[in-house]
């Protein structure tokens, strides 16, 4: 009776598949036929069919599959209909071949299963995806490892759409690996365990413990091959397990590996690597003496390895042994200079190790050690984008130091800013710039370092040498920035201040050669500043009228040039004064400063000073409201300078008495006329008293020497000044009368 029922069901299935292939999807009965066929498949699942029934049923399922393929290609099926057709066909084929061991049939079954899964995924029916896994497991159970592996790879590709399945697939692969290891199929075991680890990598739902177990079993499988290459792979697997932070288990494996490999079979470099890894585990386990012992062995196997020195640095940092850490850093750099010493299998270059050491020191609040690491890196590195990054970090570290303003710290900062300028200026030249460095935004980087140099210069106002040097590097860096008004104004300011700093330094040194060198440099920066000023005007970044009225830079430049040339005893000094006379908007203050500079030692240009004072007087007298105090000081200085030209002798004793006397008397008369006509009751009384006393004393001296004509002239002039005294008038009238 049962056989009749099975035969009846298979007949119904064949009839339904024929109807499904004949009817269009839009027919109401079409989906009913599919559902009915699926129910019939479930009814006969697990039953035995005759060979003939299987052939008929499989033929119908293949026809159904081909119909699905052709209909989909012709655009006649929706995604849902396509999935249902493939699913029905797949179930029928699977039922017909459930007990087969034929490899071709199993491959066909797996292929159909994959296509079916893909069609269900297209419809977002993820629960139907399990069928592909069942087929894979069946294929594996029948020894079809290659087929199973290829389909698991396909399933892995689909995991991005269904991340929740990661854990299941990962565990499935691990289970396959365990089963294969038990059967001593080590080649296949390695494949499955590697795939399990790869699927579980960086997945939160798969714990580090699971990954560690997988890696250790993988290492054990590699060791079964008993070759040097497989031993290396076993070590790599243990290194990855070490990354899961289970250091005690990792250490046991490293110790096992170290004892397992004879020295004849394993290179010294690899034995050194094992001992470095052992030391790392000991450090994490706080077994510092054992870590030191492992590092000693590592050094004995590979004496010039920068990686060994890195672990030594790590140990010293943990124990706050700064001297040992610094020594390890220096050795790291020294060993790195010999490329043959680098471990080609390491993930880091020697430069990267030093940068990593700096980062570790910074994280431990060892800023001095971090700065030392970065400085060692910079000394040994080639110019690259990493150089700029290291310079930025290093400068920030030094700026955060409490002693950032001491001379040693300032010297270090200055050196690093110069390195930054050298690097940026090199890569700004297209012929010298490597492809990697072409990605550097030179203007942006130069702007950052310019700000640092500028701020350090401002903070160094009490140290003229550092102020000068920081402004020099600031000036150079601004030349790499964009040529806009802000940048060029900064260049102008920097060169102006540098010139002033050179003059200040020149005034403090007693060495004549050094003084002349400093004064010459001041002139050079005066010239540089003028070039920038002219460029600003030529590019019309600021109007000429505004430049003359508002910008005092040109006046300062002229004063700096005059001071430099005066102290250098430059023969063209007088031409500088001529340019000052021709300068628009020149004022009395500028000429007063020139007068003072002309006689500031070692300069001694009294005639130029007198001329400058006369020009200052003219400016004052042209004003509607003269500054009487300034006028009095100018007259006072002119008279003193004129008297000084006698060499310190009294005017009555000089051989050139006519010229000196006439000049002096003229100046006295000019003062008197100014007081008489413009400054009554406004000229400082102390200055009037000084003029009166000078004139009277000159007259007395002439009288004593028998020159009564000159004596009368000077004394009479003194009496005129006396009339303009106010509070002191009565006192001096009596004294003059008595004399």
Q: What is the 3-state secondary structure (H, E, C) of 518-530?
A: HHHHHHHHHHHHH
pLDDT for res 79: 80
Q: Is residue 687 part of a domain?
A: yes
Range of the domain at 634: 623-739
Exposure string over 71-105, b if 16+ CB within 10 A, otherwise e: bbeeeebeeebbbbbbbbbbbbbbbbbeeeeeeee
Residue 175 CB neighbours (<10 A): 14
Q: Are 620 and 614 in contact (CB under 8 A)?
A: no
Contacts 24+ apart (CB under 8 A), 228-235: 228/265, 228/266, 231/257, 231/260, 231/261, 231/266, 232/270, 235/270, 235/273, 235/274, 235/277
Angle at CA of residue 344, ends 189 and 369, nearest 5°: 115
Cα distances (Å, whole numbers) of residue 107 to 51, 101, 104, 189: 21, 10, 5, 21
- Running DSSP on this structure, what letter comes out for residue 707? -
Quickly list H helices, 25-144: 28-44, 51-73, 79-96, 103-122, 130-141
Task: Supply the DSSP string of 10-25, one letter for each residue.
Answer: HHHHHHHHHHHHHS-T
Q: Is 571 exposed, middle or buried (0-12, 13-18, 19+ CB in 10 A)?
A: exposed
Question: How far is the C-alpha of 560 from the C-alpha of 593, rounded, in Å?
Answer: 11
pLDDT band at 127 (very low <50, low <70, confident <90, very high): low
Q: Is residue 680 part of a domain?
A: yes
Question: How far is the C-alpha of 153 from the C-alpha of 150, rounded, in Å?
Answer: 5
Q: What six digits make up the tokens of 710?
A: 């000159």
pLDDT for res 81: 80
Q: Is residue 520 part of a domain?
A: no
Q: Are 109 and 135 in contact (CB under 8 A)?
A: yes
Question: How far is the C-alpha of 470 from the C-alpha of 453, rounded, in Å?
Answer: 5
Interval 217-242: pLDDT, tens: 777 776 666 555 555 666 566 666 55
| Average pLDDT value over all residues in the chain | 79
Position 258 pLDDT exceeds 60: yes
What is the longest distance spanned by two Cα atoms in the chain? 171
What's the domain count of the chain?
1
Q: Greater confidence, 650 or 486?
A: 486
Q: Which candidate, 246, 319, 242, places its Cα nearest to that of 273?
A: 242
Position 272 pLDDT exceeds 80: yes
Q: Is residue 99 part of a domain?
A: no
pLDDT band at 395 (very low <50, low <70, confident <90, very high): very high
Interval 462-497: pLDDT, tens: 899 999 999 999 999 999 988 888 889 999 999 999
CA Rg value for the chain: 49
Altogether, the residues listed in the chain come to a count of 739
Q: Are 538 and 569 in contact (CB under 8 A)?
A: no
Q: What six digits make up the tokens of 176?
A: 């396959």
Q: Please tell me the chain's helix, strand, coil percentages from 3-state DSSP, rounded to the nearest 5.
A: 75, 0, 25
Helices 464-478 and 442-459, axial angle in degrees (round to 10): 160
Q: What six digits make up the tokens of 398?
A: 């030094």
- Running DSSP on this structure, what letter comes out for residue 468? H
Q: What six digits make up the tokens of 156?
A: 């892995």
Helices (H) and strands (E) in the chain, counts: 34, 0
| For the ranges 47-56, 176-185, 557-566, the one whose mean pLDDT is highest | 557-566
Question: How far is the C-alpha of 309 from the C-alpha of 287, rounded, in Å?
Answer: 18
Q: Greater confidence, 49 or 58?
A: 58
Q: What mean pLDDT is predicted for residues 682-707?
A: 88
Q: What six digits make up the tokens of 371?
A: 């700065």
Position 550 pLDDT exceeds 70: no
Alpha carbon of residue 392 to chain centroid = 5
pLDDT for res 725: 81
Q: Greater confidence, 590 or 71?
A: 590
Alpha carbon of residue 225 to chain centroid = 48
Is the N-terminal amide bond of 602 cis, ω within 30° of 0?
yes
Phi and psi for 667 in degrees, rounded to 5? -65, -40
Question: How far is the C-alpha of 691 from the C-alpha of 683, rounded, in Å?
Answer: 12
Q: What six digits make up the tokens of 81?
A: 């209909």
Position 38 pLDDT exceeds 90: no
Residue 593 CB neighbours (<10 A): 19
Helices 367-380 and 350-363, axial angle in degrees (round to 10): 170
Q: Is residue 456 part of a domain?
A: no
Quickly list H helices, 539-651: 544-550, 553-567, 573-582, 588-598, 606-621, 628-644
Lowest model confidence (mean pLDDT) among 30-39, 54-63, 98-107, 674-683: 98-107
Q: What mean pLDDT is predicted for residues 309-321?
A: 91
Angle at CA of residue 36, ends 34 and 40, nearest 5°: 115
pLDDT band at 78 (very low <50, low <70, confident <90, very high): confident
pLDDT for res 734: 59
Q: Greater confidence, 186 or 531?
A: 531
Lowest model confidence (mean pLDDT) among 287-296, 332-341, 395-404, 635-644: 332-341
Q: Is residue 732 part of a domain?
A: yes
Question: How far is the C-alpha of 14 from the C-alpha of 11, rounded, in Å?
Answer: 5
pLDDT band at 345 (very low <50, low <70, confident <90, very high): very low
Question: How far is the C-alpha of 512 from the C-alpha of 509, rounded, in Å?
Answer: 8
What is the helix (H) or strand (E) element at residue 8, kind and residue range? helix 2-22
pTM above 0.75, yes or no: no
Q: What mean pLDDT is predicted for residues 686-699?
A: 89
Q: Which candidate, 546, 514, 428, places its Cα nearest to that of 477?
A: 428
Q: Greater confidence, 547 or 577?
A: 577
Position 682 pLDDT exceeds 90: no
pLDDT for res 77: 75
Question: How far is the C-alpha of 293 from the C-alpha of 310, rounded, in Å?
Answer: 15
Angle at CA of residue 382, ends 380 and 386, nearest 5°: 100
Question: How far is the C-alpha of 113 from the C-alpha of 93, rounded, in Å?
Answer: 10
Q: Which candidate, 639, 636, 677, 661, places its Cα nearest to that of 713?
A: 661
Q: What mean pLDDT is predicted for residues 645-658?
A: 52
């Amino acid at each position: 009776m049962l056989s009749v029922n099975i035969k009846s069901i298979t007949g119904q299935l064949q009839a339904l598949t024929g109807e499904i292939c004949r009817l269009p999807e839009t027919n109401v009965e079409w989906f009913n036929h599919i559902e009915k066929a699926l129910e019939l498949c479930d009814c006969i699942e697990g039953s035995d069919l005759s060979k003939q029934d299987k052939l008929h049923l499989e033929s119908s399922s293949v026809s159904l599959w081909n119909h699905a393929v052709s209909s989909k290609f012709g655009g006649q099926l929706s995604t849902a209909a396509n999935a249902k057709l493939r699913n029905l066909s797949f179930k029928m084929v699977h039922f017909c071949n459930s007990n087969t061991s034929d490899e071709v049939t199993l491959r066909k079954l797996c292929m159909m299963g994959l296509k079916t899964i893909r069609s269900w995924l297209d419809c977002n029916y993820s629960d139907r995806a399990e069928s592909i896994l069942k087929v894979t497991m069946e294929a594996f159970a029948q020894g079809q490892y290659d087929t199973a592996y290829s389909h698991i790879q396909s399933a892995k590709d689909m995991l991005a759409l269904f991340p929740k399945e990661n854990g299941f697939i990962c565990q499935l692969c691990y289970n396959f690996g365990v089963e294969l290891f038990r059967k001593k199929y080590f080649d296949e075991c390695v494949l499955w365990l590697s795939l399990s680890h790869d699927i579980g990598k960086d997945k939160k739902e798969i714990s580090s413990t699971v990954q560690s177990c997988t890696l250790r079993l993988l290492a054990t499988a590699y060791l079964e091959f008993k070759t040097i290459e497989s031993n290396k792979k076993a070590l790599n697997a243990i290194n990855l397990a070490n990354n899961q932070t289970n250091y005690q288990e990792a250490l046991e494996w490293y110790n096992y590996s170290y004892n397992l490999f004879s020295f004849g079979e394993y290179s010294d470099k690899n034995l050194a690597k094992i001992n470095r890894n052992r030391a790392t585990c000991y450090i994490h386990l706080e077994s510092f003496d054992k870590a030191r012992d492992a590092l000693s062995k590592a050094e004995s196997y590979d004496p010039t390895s920068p990686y060994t020195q890195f672990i030594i640095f790590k140990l010293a940092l943990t124990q706050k042994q700064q001297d040992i850490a610094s020594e390890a850093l220096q050795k790291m750099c020294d060993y790195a200079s010999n490329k043959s010493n680098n471990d080609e299998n390491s993930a880091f270059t020697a430069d990267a190790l030093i940068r990593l050491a700096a980062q570790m020191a910074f994280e431990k609040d060892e800023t001095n050690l971090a700065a030392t690491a970065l400085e060692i890196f910079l000394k040994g590195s080639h110019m690259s984008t990493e150089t700029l990054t290291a310079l930025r970090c290093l400068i920030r570290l030094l700026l955060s130091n409490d002693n950032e303003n001491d001379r040693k710290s300032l010297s270090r900062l200055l050196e690093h800013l110069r390195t930054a300028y050298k690097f940026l200026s090199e890569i700004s030249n297209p012929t010298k710039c490597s492809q990697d460095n072409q990605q550097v935004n030179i203007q942006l980087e130069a702007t950052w370092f310019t700000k640092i140099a500028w701020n350090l210069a401002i903070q160094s106002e009490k140290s003229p040498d550092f102020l000068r040097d920081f402004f020099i590097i600031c000036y150079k860096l601004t030349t790499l920035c964009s040529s806009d008004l802000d940048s060029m104004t900064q260049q102008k300011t920097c060169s102006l201040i540098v010139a002033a700093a050179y003059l200040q330094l020149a005034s403090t040194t007693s060495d004549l050669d050094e003084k002349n060198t400093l004064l010459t440099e001041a002139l050079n920066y005066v010239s540089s500043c003028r070039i920038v000023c002219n460029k600003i005007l030529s590019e019309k970044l600021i109007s000429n009228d505004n430049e003359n009225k508002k910008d005092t830079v040109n006046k300062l430049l002229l004063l700096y040039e005059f001071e430099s040339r005066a102290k250098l005893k430059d023969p063209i000094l007088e031409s500088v004064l001529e340019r000052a006379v021709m300068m628009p908007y020149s004022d009395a203050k500028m000429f007063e400063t020139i007068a003072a500079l002309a006689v500031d030692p070692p300069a001694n240009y009294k005639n130029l000073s007198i001329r400058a004072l006369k020009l200052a007087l003219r400016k004052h007298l042209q004003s509607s409201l003269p500054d009487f105090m300034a006028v009095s000081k100018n007259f006072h200085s002119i008279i003193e300078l004129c008297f000084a030209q006698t060499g310190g002798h009294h005017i009555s004793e000089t051989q050139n008495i006519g010229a000196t006397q006439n000049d002096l008397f003229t100046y006295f008369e000019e003062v008197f006329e100014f007081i008489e006509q413009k400054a009554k009751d406004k000229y400082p009384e102390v200055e009037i008293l000084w003029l009166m006393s000078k004139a009277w004393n000159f007259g007395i001296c002439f009288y004593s020497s028998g020159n009564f004509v000159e004596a009368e002239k000077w004394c009479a002039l003194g009496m005129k000044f006396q009339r303009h005294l106010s509070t002191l008038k009565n006192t001096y009238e009596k004294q003059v009368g008595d004399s």
